[in-house]
Amino acid sequence: MIDSPYLVKPGKKLTLSKHNPNDTGKFKDKDDAKDDAEKNLKRLDELQEVLYAQSKFAILIVFQAMDAGGKDGAIEHIFSGLNPQGCSVTSFKVPSHLELAHDYLWRYHMAAPKKGMIGIFNRSHYESVLVERVREIVPKKVWSKRYDQINDFEQMLAAEDTIILKFYLNISKDEQKERLQARLDDPLKNWKFNPGDLEERKRWDDYMDAFQDALEKCSTEAAPWYIIPSNKKWFRNWAISDIIARTLKELPLKVPEPVEGIQKYKIE
């Protein structure tokens, strides 16, 4: 677990409203962060190659946010330079009939990355204590038990050498309004607009309560949550890439040994 001002410390009380979505840390502006951001992406590319070759660890990266929170943009930017053979993205939509026929964690377990891979969840198993809670799809007696079940699920993955990093992209309600409006104003972004997002926006306070509970109850040593200030997209990208790169750097990654006696082989 990488220490960071954005880490939700396991076992500690959380007040989500105290986290500033406009924070830019040590940087004054985008230009000030440019060199550090590029170094992070280069380091990710180098470390991923060894991760893939060694195939000892799997990396699971979870993204959660309100609508227009920037999950797609973060994924596109941060992982743009990685080898696609070693990276997968799963976007979870409304469950299919097959998925509904199984327990609620089944489809997430099926999508968990194998060793050597970086698996990215665009939305995740946390929908079961977020949207299902806020929209009352399941009763409280059901969703209230899921925090422990989710912790157990993640602990099991971690015990099998899956490194888990979870990022909540923290935007303000005003920033969400601007981003949703941009989708209406720009014909090239019209396809992103979903009228249902406006209904979800009316439940903003309920979602903040649900996120706070999920982040507080499910940030663990094995699977920490990070609250990433995301009003500034450039800082969001730097902060996430920095945590991922530092996490990979701490792993005992090693290029596999070559075949025995490789020096004797000649290419004719």
The stretches of the chain forming alpha helices (DSSP H) are 30-54, 71-78, 97-100, 106-111, 131-134, 140-143, 146-159, 173-185, 196-201, 204-217, 233-250
Q: What is the pTM of this model?
A: 0.96
Does 248 score more than 90 pLDDT? yes
The pLDDT of residue 160 is 97
What domains does the chain contain, in order, with CATH numbers? 16-96+123-250 (3.40.50.300)
Residue 140: pLDDT band (50, 70, 90) is: very high
The pLDDT of residue 264 is 86
Which range (5-9, 12-16, 227-231, 261-265) has the least confidence? 261-265
Average pLDDT, the chain: 96
The pLDDT of residue 179 is 96
Instruction: Take residue 95 and report the two structure tokens written for it.
Output: 């469950």
The pLDDT of residue 100 is 94
According to DSSP, the residues that pair with 166 across neighbouring strands are 62, 225
Residue 191: pLDDT band (50, 70, 90) is: very high
Span 61-113, pLDDT tens digits: 999 999 999 999 999 999 999 999 999 999 999 999 999 999 999 999 999 99
Residue 260: pLDDT band (50, 70, 90) is: confident
152 SS3 class? helix
Residue 263: pLDDT band (50, 70, 90) is: confident
Cβ distance 223 to 154 under 8 Å? yes
The pLDDT of residue 246 is 97
Task: Read off the DSSP letter of residue 19.
Answer: S
Cβ atoms < 10 Å from Cβ of 108? 22
Q: What percent of the chain has pLDDT over 90?
A: 92
Task: Read off the DSSP letter of residue 255.
Answer: P
Cβ distance 249 to 57 under 8 Å? no
Q: What angle do CA 8, 9, 12 make, to 5 degrees?
A: 105
How far is Cα of residue 7 from the mean position of the Cα atoms in its chain?
Answer: 13
| Burial profile 243-257: b = 16 or more Cβ within 10 angstroms, e = fewer | bbbebbeebebeeee
Cβ distance 77 to 237 under 8 Å? yes
